[in-house]
Amino acid sequence: MNFARVAASAVAAWVVSLPVGFFVNEIVLADLLAANAAAMRPREALMANLPFGFAAALLGFFVFAYMYAKGYEGTNGTVEGIRFGVLTALFVSCFGLLWNWVVFPISGMMALATIVDRVAEMALYGAIVGTIYKPAARSARRPVTVA
């Protein structure tokens, strides 16, 4: 495993996620978020917690990149990354995002939009990780001779 490339791909995906997250939440989903505001933190509290969210996302991208590297099959990295991202998003959706709809008073449309967004974003981040990650070069082992 190439840990330097795991780190580089994690940081690159995280950096891309910052403007993407702003665009999605402040523009694309703004109306749905406003319609479901009763289930959300007030904006001031959200903004106060944002640094923790950014730190958690960075840690999550390191885990995401590490898991990708562990499962890397050696084919086209970008395609493998997209597939990995989509599967990861579906996993998170089934165990988390759908449960948000079950537990919290958000609309079905909000839950669906969140899942669609998660699949699209994770496909993008998977493509970034898959494009940047390359396995470490294997060193040629010389046979040991015993004299």
Percent pLDDT > 70 in the chain is 93
Helix (H, G, I), strand (E, B) or coil at 134: coil
Q: How many other C-beta atoms lie within 10 A of the C-beta of residue 104?
A: 13
DSSP string across 25-51: IIIISHHHHHHTGGGS--HHHHHHHHH
User: Tokens 């070069």 — which residue?
Assistant: 137
Residues 77, 134 contacting (CB under 8 angstroms): yes
Model confidence pLDDT, tens digit, residues 19-74? 999 999 999 999 999 999 999 999 999 999 999 999 999 999 999 999 999 999 99
| CB 114 within 8 Å of CB 92 | no
Share of the chain above pLDDT 90, in %: 89
C-alpha 62/C-alpha 45 separation (Å) is 26
Instruction: Please write the tens of the pLDDT for every residue from 109-120.
Output: 999 999 999 999
SS3 assignment, position 141: coil
Given the structure tokens 């990650």, which residue do they identify?
133
Reference 62, options 19, 3, 21, 18; nearest CA is 3
Distance CA 134, CA 88 (A): 20
Encoded amino acid at 143, one letter: P
